[in-house]
Amino acid sequence: MVSVRADRPIAEKGIPDATIARLPVYLRTLNVMADDGVATISSGELADAAGVNPAQLRKDLSYLGTYGTRGVGYDVRYLRFQIGSQIGSAQEWPVVIVGLGNLGTALANYSGFGSRGFKIVALLDPKPDLIGRTVVGVPISDLADLEQIVERTEVRIAIIATPAAGAQEVCDRLVACGVRSILNFAPTALSVPPEVNLRKVDLGQELQILAYHEQQQMADPLESGPNADGTGSVHPHGVTA
């Protein structure tokens, strides 16, 4: 159902970061479609379900060398495989979570990791009362043993969910162990070498952005605009300019 142009190898194309960020959204949408028994899907249907416009979706998929068949669309199973292979969910990635407070524990319990190719293989925390407990079948180990555990479990991706004060030290130790992909939930900015991929998740910042938009929407009815006769604008206190 899908044609692939062999003259455009993926490795030579340099996929933009914005496209990479949308690929997991497409994959999640395709997973739902496949579970519902959908065999083929048009670019318009997939774009609507993923919340993008069809032109953007077609451009994104073209970076993978994938072009839907006119009048037929995309083969759902094959497109899932292609996107999964590109973003690494076609294999299982070992992950460590450092910091088992409320947030770290919630992340460890997240059921979506497995279906997306991630396996929590280690949990680390310095608190004596947490060490030895298990979360989703994985024992919490002492943070002091980070280096040995990373080596033993062959961790490739780390999630930092520690308080701000200790986050940089944890990050430095992970990098020294060879971890090159880090997802930071700690409420602080981290410094890493250029070869390390660091992504920051700031829940407070995201809420503030939503609060900004909410405030803007609340203010809309009070914003100035033309009168019915087009002679002026109405201000919050009913004064006409």
102 is in an annotated binding site: yes
Find where tokens 């993923």 sit.
50
Q: Could you write out the DSSP letters of every residue in 187-226? A: SS-----TTSEEEE--HHHHHHHHHHHHHHHHHGGGS--B
Residue partners of 6: CB distance under 8 A and separation at least 6: 65
Tell me whether strands 2-4 and 66-68 are parallel, antiparallel or unpaired.
Answer: antiparallel
99 is in an annotated binding site: yes
31 is in an annotated binding site: no
61 is in an annotated binding site: no
Q: Is 133 helix (H, G, I), strand (E, B) or coil?
A: coil
- Cα 3 from Cα 1, distance rounded (Å): 7
- Cα 156 from Cα 60, distance rounded (Å): 27
103 is in an annotated binding site: yes
CB-based contact 49:73 (threshold 8 Å): no
101 is in an annotated binding site: yes
CB-based contact 117:88 (threshold 8 Å): yes
Residues making up the annotated binding site are: 99-104
Residues making up the annotated binding site for NAD(+) are: 99-104
